[in-house]
């Protein structure tokens, strides 16, 4: 636990003596350092030290002049990623949305070119904005039922209060539709729970003790950078890093070996590894007997001929010898080096149609080898379940019973937003259509799949849309009312992590810029404006933090707000073994499954995605709609400094030379990428980062170059709303397309 350089360590020089000894009233800087926590959607949840300078006589709480990683945080270790190292560019960007605004009368919804926002929106007061929103939501609820109001939010902030507290209370009390938050991680999360019963894994610090690290669908260098030093430490001691990923990421390029698997075939590879391990008797029989359930069934399944390496090679594109070598290396490393294998699986693996099963299959591998018994062994997908925040107290689901519905509201899957906005209510008399959409912590016009249907819905003149945002995003272009949101420097929150095991308190470093208001302030005030009498709508931020920490779970034992305010971060009180080590799943006592063991059934079955090379027809190429290393989904995509770091892939379709050649395409040519759902115009880049049969483009703001023709699209014009096999997640990486060189006229249009 670190002691934070807190406000009491300020170097206050507000008044100074002059040469004559008189006290000068000239402005002087008072500097303080505040402990905050990066709340962006990233496993690292970094401790951030914010240096704030206040001039004498200056109103407000001063200006942040520096952000740095907290050196006392055991995982942050004093550095920030490239995205947030430039964070003050974002906080003080001249493009920040700083005041409530409403759409000018008669202006249609649709893309607004940067710089032309004032022609579309006019500034109003918060009072006017709240009155307008309360009036419209009340009217919509009265006419169509409260479920015709749909909240749409995800992890634009992952602080407990910002992610889900007063907002949920508000929508529950209103009786609005519930949103199933599936767009990113639900298939993998469901998979992890089905095998282990809890979202927990190997601590990042322990990776330094591994003898083999497998990064499976995990671009660690791009979006989990604080794990990287621990992997490098392990490599210095002789560990190997193997990356399994269809795209040659930065991490893959730095690895000892890159296995470029065909998209969506991870289940087949994991089963083939099991086949080799079990065929050669490399499993840990004692551990399996003590800590797992369903082994014999899995064994019989994995040893079937269709899971032999040769068969898997045909499916995965990884040759049989390599699969055998990989399986042996994985299972034998402890015996051979005295150090175990660890898998860093990330959510890329589960964004395909068979993705939930794939995540389950990979989760089972350390249960066969017993890697969990050893420091540095095991697997990490998410550690979020180890933080026992009291979400019931924060979100108050029972308020739905006080709504006009007097029952839990219907659930709408966010991955199916396009359908929700365009077809919901068409078929059943008693199914209300969506008539009001309240977007916060997200940018669905850019990030939701099947973009053309999403935009068709957002364009509806009869849809009342509120967007709470920091910038004029693609989604803001469709708002009726825009509300200014703060950055994490401007709010106080409490936060766990999904990539480490420290709970942290994020202090408010500076006053909200302009008229920005936090989610807590916005929804508390709106609730009162709507006439909700429950006292919980008046809870303060500190009340909410206390409620979040108020749990009987002993992993939070003794951790309270005062301690977090004092120390910044505190490690969870996890069980330790006789030697004082935290070794998750080293014994059966750790599992929270119904069987109380690591669950190996139902056995994972590989099914080729509907949109994959196995089922290719008129659209033969597998499309990877990638996330940029230096953006966070679409966050940061509008900052020139971040754009420069991503210049290589701006407006680009990456292709293999075989696929380019048969289509007469060369690097630099304008191409059209298309399927039945939509089309994009991009510039071809034949660069060896994808294998034959795969093309890749990165997610971007539509209006900032997601499509070179300026049509206002991005990669999601091509993706579908088809759901994953389990967890109802998005299947971004199960998308088929075709590519053709564009006509000269189109090239001209795009250039203009």
> CB burial class (10 A; 0-12, 13-18, 19+) of residue 558?
exposed
Residue 244 interacts with ligand SF4 (CB under 6 A)? no
| Whether 621 contacts 654, CB under 8 Å | no
Helices and strands, counts by H and E, the chain: 26, 30
Residue 40 interacts with ligand SF4 (CB under 6 A)? yes
Least separation in angstroms between residue 87's CB and ligand SF4 is 8
Least separation in angstroms between residue 225's CB and ligand SF4 is 5
Specify the residue, 83 or 102, whose C-beta has the smaller distance to ligand SF4: 83
Residue 38 interacts with ligand SF4 (CB under 6 A)? yes
DSSP secondary structure letters along 275-342: HHHHHTT-S-HHHHHHHEE-HHHHHHHHTSGGGSHHHHHHHHSS-HHHHHHHHHHHHHHHHHHS--EE
For residue 258, the Cα-to-chain-centroid distance in whole angstroms is 24
Specify the residue, 220 or 308, whose C-beta has the smaller distance to ligand SF4: 220
Residue 27, C-beta contacts closer than 8 angstroms, at least 6 positions apart = 55, 56, 57, 58
For residues 223 and 22, give the distance between their C-alpha atoms in angstroms, rounded to a whole number.
Answer: 54
| Whether 32 contacts 55, CB under 8 Å | no
**Structure-derived torsion over alpha carbons of residues 467, 634, 654, 44, reported in degrees to the nearest 10:** -150
Q: Between residue 484 and residue 543, which ones bind ligand SF4 under the rule CB under 6 A?
A: none
Specify the residue, 45 or 182, whose C-beta has the smaller distance to ligand SF4: 45
Specify the residue, 90 or 307, whose C-beta has the smaller distance to ligand SF4: 90
Least separation in angstroms between residue 497's CB and ligand SF4 is 8
Task: Give the binding-site size for ligand SF4 (rule: CB under 6 A).
Answer: 12
Least separation in angstroms between residue 42's CB and ligand SF4 is 3
User: Which range of residues in 23-31, 41-49, 260-268, 685-693 is near ligand SF4 by CB under 6 A?
Assistant: 41-49
Specify the residue, 178 or 491, whose C-beta has the smaller distance to ligand SF4: 491
Residue 225 interacts with ligand SF4 (CB under 6 A)? yes
Specify the residue, 40 or 722, whose C-beta has the smaller distance to ligand SF4: 40
Specify the residue, 169 or 221, whose C-beta has the smaller distance to ligand SF4: 221
| Whether 463 contacts 435, CB under 8 Å | yes
Least separation in angstroms between residue 36's CB and ligand SF4 is 10
For residues 707 and 750, give the distance between their C-alpha atoms in angstroms, rounded to a whole number.
Answer: 9
Least separation in angstroms between residue 85's CB and ligand SF4 is 8
When binding is defined by CB under 6 A, the residue of 33, 35, 44, 157 that contacts ligand SF4 is: 44
For residues 429 and 328, give the distance between their C-alpha atoms in angstroms, rounded to a whole number.
Answer: 59
Residue 149 interacts with ligand SF4 (CB under 6 A)? no
User: Which range of residues in 38-46, 502-510, 551-559, 652-660 is near ligand SF4 by CB under 6 A?
Assistant: 38-46
Here the tokens at position 555 are 């992993």
User: Which range of residues in 43-51, 430-438, 513-521, 657-665 is near ligand SF4 by CB under 6 A?
Assistant: 43-51
Residue 652, C-beta contacts closer than 8 angstroms, at least 6 positions apart = 682, 683, 684, 685, 697, 698
Which residues on adjacent β-strands are paired with residue 52? Answer: 32, 64
Select from 164, 159, 158, 179 the least CA-distant residue to 396: 164
Specify the residue, 645 or 711, whose C-beta has the smaller distance to ligand SF4: 645
Select from 615, 492, 554 the least CA-distant residue to 165: 492
Specify the residue, 40 or 221, whose C-beta has the smaller distance to ligand SF4: 40
User: Which range of residues in 42-50, 309-317, 665-673, 698-706 is near ligand SF4 by CB under 6 A?
Assistant: 42-50
Least separation in angstroms between residue 648's CB and ligand SF4 is 20
Specify the residue, 81 or 409, whose C-beta has the smaller distance to ligand SF4: 81
Q: Between residue 60 and residue 89, which ones bind ligand SF4 under the rule CB under 6 A?
A: 80-81, 83-84
| Whether 468 contacts 522, CB under 8 Å | yes
Provide the 3-class DSSP secondary structure of residue 124: coil
Specify the residue, 86 or 396, whose C-beta has the smaller distance to ligand SF4: 86
Specify the residue, 361 or 447, whose C-beta has the smaller distance to ligand SF4: 447
Least separation in angstroms between residue 283's CB and ligand SF4 is 36
Least separation in angstroms between residue 689's CB and ligand SF4 is 23
| Whether 403 contacts 227, CB under 8 Å | no
Least separation in angstroms between residue 158's CB and ligand SF4 is 9
Provide the 3-class DSSP secondary structure of residue 716: helix
Which residues of this chain interact with ligand SF4, rule CB under 6 A? 38, 40, 42, 44-46, 80-81, 83-84, 225-226
């Amino acid at each position: 636990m670190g002691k934070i350089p807190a406000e009491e360590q300020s170097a206050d020089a507000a008044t100074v003596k002059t040469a004559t000894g008189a006290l000068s009233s000239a402005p002087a800087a008072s500097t303080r350092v505040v402990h905050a926590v990066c709340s962006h959607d990233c496993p690292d949840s970094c401790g951030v030290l914010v240096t704030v300078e206040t001039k004498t006589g200056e109103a407000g709480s001063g200006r942040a002049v520096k952000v740095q990683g907290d050196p006392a945080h055991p995982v942050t270790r004093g550095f920030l990623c490239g995205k947030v190292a430039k964070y003050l560019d974002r906080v003080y960007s001249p493009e920040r949305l700083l005041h409530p605004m409403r759409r000018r009368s008669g202006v249609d919804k649709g893309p607004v070119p940067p710089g032309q926002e004032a022609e579309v929106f006019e500034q109003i007061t918060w009072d006017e904005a709240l009155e307008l929103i309360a009036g419209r939501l009340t009217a919509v609820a009265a006419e169509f039922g409260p479920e015709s109001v749909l909240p749409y939010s995800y992890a634009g902030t992952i602080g407990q209060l910002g992610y889900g507290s007063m907002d949920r209370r508000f929508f529950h009390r209103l009786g609005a539709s519930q949103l199933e938050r599936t767009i990113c991680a639900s298939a993998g999360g469901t998979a992890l729970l089905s095998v282990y019963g809890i979202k927990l894994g190997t601590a990042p610090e322990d990776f330094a003790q591994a003898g083999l690290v497998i990064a499976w669908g995990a671009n660690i260098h791009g979006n989990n950078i604080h794990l990287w030093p621990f992997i490098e430490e392990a490599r210095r001691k002789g560990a190997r890093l193997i990356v399994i990923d269809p795209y040659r990421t930065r991490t893959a390029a730095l690895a000892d070996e890159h296995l470029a698997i065909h998209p969506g075939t991870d289940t087949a590879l994991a089963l083939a590894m099991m086949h080799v391990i079990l065929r050669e008797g490399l499993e840990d029989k004692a551990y399996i007997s003590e800590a797992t359930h369903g082994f014999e069934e899995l064994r019989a399944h994995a040893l079937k001929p269709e899971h032999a390496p040769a068969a898997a090679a045909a499916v995965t594109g990884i040759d049989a010898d390599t699969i055998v070598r990989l399986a042996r290396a994985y299972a034998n490393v402890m015996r051979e080096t005295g150090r175990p294998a660890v898998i860093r699986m990330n959510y890329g693996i589960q964004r395909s149609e068979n993705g939930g099963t794939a995540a389950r299959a990979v989760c089972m591998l350390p249960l066969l080898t017993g890697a969990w018994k050893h420091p540095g062994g095991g697997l990490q997908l998410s550690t979020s379940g180890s933080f026992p925040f009291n979400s019931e107290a924060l979100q108050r689901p029972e308020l739905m019973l006080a709504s006009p519905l007097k029952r839990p509201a219907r659930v709408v899957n966010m991955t199916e937003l396009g359908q929700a906005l365009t077809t919901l209510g068409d078929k059943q008399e008693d199914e209300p259509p969506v008539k009001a959409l309240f977007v916060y912590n997200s940018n669905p016009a850019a990030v939701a799949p099947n973009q053309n249907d999403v935009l068709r819905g957002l364009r509806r003149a009869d849809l009342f849309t509120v967007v709470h945002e920091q910038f004029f995003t693609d989604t803001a272009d469709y708002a009726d009312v825009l509300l200014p949101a703060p950055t994490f420097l401007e709010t106080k929150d409490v936060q766990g992590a999904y990539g480490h095991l420290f709970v942290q308190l994020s202090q408010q470093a500076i006053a909200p810029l302009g008229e920005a208001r936090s989610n807590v302030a916005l929804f508390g005030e709106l609730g009162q404006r709507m006439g909700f009498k429950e006292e919980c709508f008046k809870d303060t931020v500190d009340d909410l933090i206390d409620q979040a920490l108020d749990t009987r779970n002993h992993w939070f034992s003794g951790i309270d707000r005062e301690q977090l305010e004092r120390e910044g971060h505190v490690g969870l009180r996890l069980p330790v073994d006789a030697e004082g080590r935290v070794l998750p799943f080293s014994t059966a006592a750790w599992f929270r499954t119904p069987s109380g063991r690591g669950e190996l059934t139902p056995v994972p079955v590989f099914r080729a995605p509907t949109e994959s090379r196995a089922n290719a027809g008129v659209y033969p190429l597998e499309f990877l709609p990638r996330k940029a290393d230096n953006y966070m989904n679409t966050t940061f995509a509008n900052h020139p400094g971040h754009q420069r770091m991503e210049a290589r892939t701006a407006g680009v379709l990456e292709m293999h030379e075989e696929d380019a050649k048969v289509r007469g395409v060369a690097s630099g040519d304008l191409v059209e990428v298309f399927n039945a759902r939509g089309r994009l115009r991009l510039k071809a880049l034949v660069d060896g980062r994808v294998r034959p049969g795969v093309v890749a483009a990165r997610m971007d703001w539509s209006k900032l170059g997601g499509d070179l023709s300026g049509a206002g699209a991005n990669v999601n014009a091509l993706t579908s709303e088809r759901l994953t096999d389990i967890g109802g997640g998005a299947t971004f990486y199960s998308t088929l397309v075709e590519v053709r060189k564009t006509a000269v006229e189109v090239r001209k249009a795009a250039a203009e």
